[in-house]
Structure 1
Amino acid sequence: MDSIPLNWEALDALIIDFARSENLIEDSFSSSPPPSPSPSPSSLSSSSYHSRLIIRQIRRSLEVGDIDCAIDLLRLHAPFILDDHRLLFRLQKQKFIELLRKGTAEDRDLAIQCLRTALAPCALDAYPEAYEEFKHVLLAFIYDKDNQTSPVTYEWSERRRFDIAGLMSSVLRAHMQAYDPVFSMTLRYLISIHKGFCFHEGVSSPISDLTERLLLDELDPPATPKESLYEAPPFDEVDIQALAHAVELTRQGAIDSLRFTKGDLFHAFQNELCRMKLDLSVLDELVREYCIYRGIVDSGCGVLSGMQNLSSSSKVNQSELEYCSSRNTSFEVDYATSKLSDGEISVSNSRVDSSPENIADVTSSQSNNEVELRYASEPTSNREDCSTSDSVHVGNSRTLQANKNRGIVERSKRKRWRGRHDDRELHDVSYSGCSKAELSAITVASMIMSKEQQNLEKHIPIDSTGREDKYEIVLGIRELASKRLAAEVVEEINALDPNFFVQNPILLFQLKQVEFLKLVSSGDYSSALRVACTHLGPLAANEPSLLKQLKETLLALLLPNEDFLGKGFPVNALANSLQVAFGRRLGIEEPRLMKLMRATVHSHSEWFKLQMCKDRFESLLKIDSLKEVNLPSLSTSGALLKSNSDSCIHGSSQVAKSSAAARTSEDGSSPMQASSIDAGDENAILKVMEFLALPRADAIHLLAQYNGNAEMVIQQIFA
């Protein structure tokens, strides 16, 4: 699984979109804010930020039992909720319980007033069962909240607060189109598929420690359709089954979800995904760790110090974290403004300025087509070869000195990690209807988060300065490699660690390939041949698997005017491999998010091979971009570049596997599906799936046994 290729540049774009959408990063040293980009699908997730903050505040108010505050916020920002008597009835019933919970005579009188003026009128026309629920909740006058055997135990339960808060969040999110950033939804989807795949295959997950902490088991209640929508025409069975299997719904649950969105499959899918709860504190740690490793944000002194030891004991209550994550917010945002939707989410064309090497600029359309060199250069023995060698002398690094000489100009290309905890802006949040106690709760929560942040940043290891220097060295080497300065990379690494290329000859061969092709393209044939004789030849002699690639590399001499490096040689992928391999030599482990993404994307591919179909939602969530690591076929120099592609993908003495076997065909069908799908048409497959409640793969296998006759399959099963 560690060798699974992944397009890290595509992941960079998703991560930056997420961090910007959540206001987690800002320009480090910029004196003026960046120009506002024109509205685009990729920036729509940012436009829903204020709406998401409003929803978080409403959720928090409901979770602490301040129903009046929640209703005031709804009246100000989402009055349509109060026009729905189904939802208003639930709010007023909870308000009645909360008034009784306070226990004073005054609050008891207010509860009776709430019954007469608000709850009883709503019960008459909210929904058919509402009046029975109204009579039932009156028992709260008789049975105390501490009576665990009473018939109104659930009404008294504080769990009910979270249920109604989750329901309101689901409804508001859908109506205000305030979906979470793409990466957040992608992560939910991939983790849920990974868990399902591991369970189906009966194997333990290698990343269970992360997935269990990151994706919580509980779900928000679904947004339910109005009764008038029950007369909606039937939906396409293909959509019903796709939604049901994608987010583990019953068939009826999928139909209800589609009814709520009036048949819009993709909005229904996003609604269901956002019901899954992520631990934001864990997610932010993973994202920050990845951003520092990739050079997206400035590391700063000690910024990584607490990341590897994040423990549940040091985390604040999740509801407090979400509540305190508000920043840059004015709750006077007009609902019409916050109506901007990120429903059509896309980051493939996002232009990310001022990040190192324009890292998230997916302009490098080549980046989506680069062959992943991720583990091409890793030595066989992880511990001995990847440990920090005594021969690595960080202080002698010319790359480090050059980075320091560039100073603030170079560092300004990176972002500054801002995080979710900014008490100054939390104090600026103002909205009507909140009690003094609620405002005090905000202050206390923000102080807790501020204290946690300070403790994290003050926990600086003894060698923090040296660690930051090591990060700068590794990022500098990656930058040199991405600029095709192969000779400089080799010289720098040899000066730091003379044994590195002894243990990683494949990486040295690939760097010398870059140097050779660059010299040939410039017309310096004598220097190119010198590189081939001095380096490429001896390396190929010691590593027989490189001999064929050496021969095909020499074919570049027949095409002297071709710029092979500009036509798709995976330079950035080589740079990424160097970062990982040399980073480990310096004691810098790759971020946990990389391991998480590799494992979940691999499970996604394997799961849909088993299902024998294409994932209808992978493009929406940019999963297809994460998998785009194949080079385009080129005409004249196709053989040479394909050879380079193979060498970079495998980068070891292992037997190369056909890329066709590892990837699905262009239409999304796996090789297995291509031979089995003929067992029956799509309608027959869906019929068997629906009647027998079977997964798609099992339905196809059954149809294959009965010549594609769905009726015969069903008869045999029930015979």
Structure 2
Amino acid sequence: MESTPVNWEALDALVIEFAKLENLIEDATATASAAATTATTSASSPSSSPSPSPSSSSYQSRLVILQIRRYLESGVVDAAVDLLRLHAPSILNDHRILFRLHKQKFIELLRKGTMEDRDSAIECLRAALAPCALDAYPEAYEEFKHVLLAFIYDKDDKSSPVANEWSERRRLDLAGFMSSMLRAHLNAYDPVFSLALRYLISIHRAYCLRQGITSPISDLTERLLLEERDHPAIPQDILYEVPPFDEVDIQALAHAVELTRQGAIDSLRFAKGDLFLAFQNELCRIKLDTPYLDQLVREYCVYRGIIESVSEKQPIPEPVKFSQQDPVCFSSRDCSLELDCNVGKHSDGETSVTNVRVDGSPENNADVSSMQGMDVEVRYASELTNSHEDCSTSGSQLLENPSILQRRRMPGNGERSKRKRWRGRYDYNNYVANASLEDSKQENSISTAVSTVTKEKQGCEKLSINDASNTEDKYEILLGMKDLASNGMAAEAVEEVNAIDPNFFSQNCVLLFQLKQVEFLKLVSSGDYNAALKVACSHLGPLAASDPTLLKPLKETLLALLRPSEDALGSALPLNALAASLQVAVGRRLGVEEPQLMKIMRATLHTHNEWFKLQMCKDRFEGLLRINSLKEVHAPFLTSMCTSKSHTDSCTNGSSQATVSSGTRPSEDGSSPTQDSSRDAICDEGAILKVMEFLALPRADAIHLLAQYNGNAETVIQQLFA
């Protein structure tokens, strides 16, 4: 998995798109313009306070859906209905939805327990619930009569026939169902990056389970991808006959998002037969830990130079003020999100994106201290990453030389003005919490929580302030080297690395060979053949002599001399992949670990390739989620130099993203591997689908069975049922 190639530029584009669509970042130039506008507006109208504009209408729709979800989860049904009338009035024309909302409102009124609320519940029955039950759906009237038992049985009676109606789980189910309906109705789908992560992690889990192996990123995926899903949306018409959907589409959807066959049919019916729309709907039902995802994205953006570095100051937003009218939801994970946003308002403009819980546990306190004091987790290596590594050199010692600190300011400084500023989910403060702020105990608990987390953050800042400049130095060094390598300035990159650590390339021979390849090809492209041959004789030749696996790429590199008119550098080497490899390897040398997101993408893309090898087919959805673009790493010279995992580990500490192991090579177009032609000749697609449908088997198992019986589906079924 470590050697799986990833197109980091494509991932950068997906991450930036995600951050913009979620309104997490803002450009420094846009901020300056906004500040000037604000100053002008304030001069003319001091009372006005413009708010940041959202990235898209879809973003506003997602916030509306989020607020409706919070209202329903906290039992404030009337407020949710008011928002629906304002933003999606046509959805209330569906009496099935209206009946569910009225029934939940009836239960919530009874839950309050006062005589006035009991009278309101009776009025709700007469005016809304009973009329709606007559034509909502066939079972609605029976459900209406059943819910009347809530008048008799207490909410604390777990053995009553209406215990499920009283359960607060009904709130969560209704909130999830309404979210599914509204996403499709308002066309407010999550960004592609978020959907791709859900899909890749789901496949990663399935592959590891099937193969009986332990996932190397299980600690990350288990926290990021939650087990529960929102309830599915229901189609407009309830039909019992089988719709004329292609069986290929039904099976593809069922296996892609782990649905039953009937579930896939219902999803396609809701999407009116649109396979890709049904796929989006099902992916959005899978829940992600949003604060943790924001943390991973921010860590990656700082590491890649997309946003400003960790110690840069940002404007301090106004503190959050809790309103008596704002509904509050104290549901576990959501409450942690809202507390995080509020704490960010008291900080130096940095919004915390971790799941903050003030229970005093060491694990949670570690989360607070790791992310609130520093936006990116920077670990100092406590053990050697390679058996050849010099254990006497640490990251801090490498930066003690003043000349090195001066040099690190040279490369990449021109790019700093292009970096964006992390904004965080400030808009979520509009949807903070709770249905019963009139209860002073709940209000005090929120104040105490915010105060405690703020104190922890302040303490953490004091601990990390002495290391801030050192951390920024390391990030600027890495970004400078990445910029040099990605711009083809290999000689300068080698010089910078040697200035930091003269022993680095003796332990990373492949990286040095790749950089000298770039230097050689750049000289050939400019017509300076003598200098190019000097580089080959001084560096490429000796390196290949010491490592026989480099002889083949050396020969292929020398072939560039036969094609002087072509752009040898542009066609031969993926500079962005090489730059990422250099950044990761030097970062480890400085004690800066690569972002967790890079580990997730490398591992999940590897298992995505392997999964569809097992399925013996191509992934129909990878183009929609742009997974194919993440695999598009074309490196004719580099792919041939390190095909063995052992060589990769020994030469590059397993950090070279430009190498492809022989067992994980993607197809030529960068997409998932296609099915084996010999099996394809035996197995007809109709026979495969018939066995999959009748026996409820995965595609790979169906193909294996058909191969045993010469592709005859009837024989397979007869043998298994005999």
Which TM-score band (shorter chain)? 0.7 to 0.9
Shift of 1:199: 1.1
Corresponding position of 1:295: 305
Task: Quote the residue 1:373 is aligned against.
Answer: none
61, 76, 95: which one aligns with 1:85: 95
Contact 2:556 2:637 in 1 (8 A): yes
Given the alignment, which residue of 157, 173, 195 partners 2:167? 157
Aligned position for 1:15: 15
Q: CA RMSD in A?
A: 3.5
**What do the CA deviations read for 1:389-434 (whole angstroms, capped 9, x no partner)?**
6762355456855637986x642211111111368x739x9xxx99
Is 1:489 matched with 2:505? no
Equivalent residues of 1:482, 1:575 under 8 A apart? yes
SS at structure 1 position matched to 2:421: strand
- CA-CA distance at 1:452 after TM superposition: 5.0
Alignment correspondent of 1:421: 426
Contact 2:574 2:633 in 1 (8 A): no
Give 3-state SS (helix, strand or coil) of 2:33's partner: coil
1:307 aligned partner: none
Match of 1:381 in 2: 387
Which letter maps to 1:708? G
Task: Summarize the Cα distance change of 1:386–1:445 in structure 2 as closer, same or farther, 3 Å threshold.
Answer: farther
Hey, what's the Cα distance between the residues in 2 that align with 1:530 and 1:97? 83
> Where do 1:592-607 residues align within 5 Å?
592-607=596-611
Q: 1:197 to 1:382 in 2, by over 3 A?
A: farther
How far did 1:674 drift? 1.6
* Distance change in 2, residues 1:52/1:189 (3 Å): same
Structure 2: how far apart are the matches of 1:478 and 1:653?
24
Measure how far apart 1:648 and its partner are.
7.2
Question: Could you tell which deviates more after superposition, 237-246 or 704-713?
Answer: 704-713
Residue 479 of structure 1, CA deviation: 0.6
Distance 1:664 1:251 in 2: 30
Q: Is the 8 A contact 1:421 1:450 kept in 2?
A: no
**Aligned with residue 166 of structure 1, among 159, 176, 183:** 176
Work out the CA distance in 2 between the residues paired with 1:540 and 1:667: 29
Superposition map of 1:175-214 within 5 A: 175-214=185-224
Give the alignment partner of residue 643 of structure 1, picking from 637, 645, 661. 637
- The DSSP-based 3-state class of the residue aligned with 2:227 is strand
Is the 1:379–1:504 contact (alpha carbons within 8 Å) kept by the matching residues of 2?
no
Change (3 A) 1:666 1:488: closer
Structure 1 residues 259 and 466, CA, compared in 2 at 3 Å: closer, same or farther? Answer: same
Q: Displacement of 1:539 after TM fit? A: 2.1
Distance change in 2, residues 1:453/1:618 (3 Å): farther
Match for residue 559 of structure 2? 555
Report the alpha carbon displacement of residue 295 of structure 1 after superposing the two structures with TM. Answer: 0.9
- Counterpart position of 1:283: 293
Q: 1:284 to 1:403 in 2, by over 3 A?
A: same
Match status 1:711 vs 2:711: no
Q: Deviations over 1:30-66 (max 9, x none)?
A: 42269xxxxxxxxx99431011000000000001110
Partner of 2:264: 254
Residues 394, 469 of structure 1: 8 Å contact kept = no
Q: Does 1:121 align with 2:136?
A: no
Name the residue aligned to 2:399: 393
Cα distance in 1 for partners of 2:508, 2:189 equals: 45
For 1:689, give the aligned amino acid.
M
Of 608, 611, 617, the match for 2:612: 608
2:335 maps to 1:320: yes
User: Which amino acid counterpart does residue 6 of structure 1 have in structure 2?
Assistant: V
Change (3 A) 1:439 1:321: farther
Match of 2:686 among 683, 691, 702: 683
Q: Aligned equivalents of 2:341 and 2:269: distance in 1?
A: 32
Cα contact 2:687–2:712 (8 A) shared by 1:
yes
Query: Which of residues 504, 507, 510 in structure 2 aligns to 1:503?
Result: 507
- Letter of the aligned partner of 2:510 in structure 1? I
What is the Cα deviation at residue 567 of structure 1?
Answer: 2.6
> Post-superposition shift, 1:566?
2.5
SS at match of 1:249: coil
Q: Secondary structure at the match of 2:306?
A: coil
Identical columns (%): 64
Q: CA deviation at 1:8?
A: 1.2
Q: What CA distance in whole angstroms lies between the structure 2 residues aligned with 1:406 and 1:700? A: 53
Output the amino acid matched with 2:76: D
Instruction: Please report how far the alpha carbon of residue 226 of structure 1 lies from its aligned counterpart in structure 2 after TM superposition.
Output: 2.6
Residue aligned with 1:274, SS = helix
CA-to-aligned-CA distance 1:199-232 (integer Å, 9 cap, x gap) = 1111221111111111111111111113355568
Q: Deviations over 1:330-371 (max 9, x none)?
A: xxxxxxxxxxxxxxxxxxxxxxxxxxxxxxxxxxxxxxxxxx
Compute the TM-score of the two structures, normalised by the length of structure 1: 0.81
Matched, 1:539 2:543: yes
Residue type at the aligned position of 1:681: D
What displacement does 1:291 show? Answer: 0.8
Q: Whole-Å Cα distance in 2 between the matches of residues 564 and 439 of structure 1? A: 72
Tell me the secondary structure at the aligned position of residue 226 of structure 2.
strand
Partners of 2:521 and 2:568 within 8 A in 1: yes
- 2:106 pairs, out of 70, 76, 96, with 96
CA distance in 2, matches of 1:557, 1:18: 43
Partner Cα separation in structure 2 for residue 490 and residue 257 of structure 1: 55
CA distance in structure 2 between the partners assigned to 1:229 and 1:694 by the alignment: 26
2:335 aligned partner, one-letter code: E
Q: Distance in 1 between matches of 2:151 and 2:205?
A: 45
Q: Which of 218, 229, 237 lines up with 2:228 in the alignment?
A: 218
Greater mean deviation of Cα atoms: 379-388 or 79-88: 379-388
CA distance in 1, matches of 2:681, 2:670: 15
Which of 686, 701, 709 is 2:704 aligned to? 701
**In 2, Cα distance between the equivalents of 1:162 and 1:539?**
62
C-alpha distance in structure 2 between counterparts of 1:127 and 1:595, whole Å: 48
Shift of residue 174, structure 1, vs aligned partner: 1.1
The answer as to whether partners of 2:95 and 2:136 remain within 8 angstroms in 1 is: yes
Superposed CA offset, 1:482-503 (max 9, x none): 1211121111111111111121
Determine the C-alpha separation between the residues in 1 that align with 2:516 and 2:411. 28
Structure 2: where are the runs of 5+ without partners?
Answer: 36-53, 314-329, 343-383, 650-658
- AA aligned to 1:47 is S
CA contact (8 A) 1:392 1:586 kept: yes
Aligned to 2:375: none
Tell me: CA distance 1:572–1:658, structure 2 relative to 1, closer, same or farther (3 Å): closer
Q: Cα–Cα, structure 1 residues 661 and 91, in superposed 2: closer, same or farther, change >3 Å?
A: closer
- Cα deviation, residue 179, structure 1: 0.6
- Aligned pairs (5 A) from 1:404-415: 410-415=415-420
Q: Are 2:483 and 1:479 aligned?
A: yes
Structure 1: give runs of 5+ residues left out of the alignment: 35-43, 304-314, 328-377, 632-641
Q: 1:119 to 1:128 in 2, by over 3 A?
A: same
Please list the CA deviations of residues 256-292 of structure 1 after superposition, one character each: whole Å capped at 9, or x if unmatched. Answer: 1111111111111111111111111111111111111
Other-structure match for 2:33: 32
Number of matched pairs: 634
Closer, same or farther in 2 for the Cα pair 1:155/1:660, shift >3 Å? closer
* TM-score, normalization by structure 2: 0.80
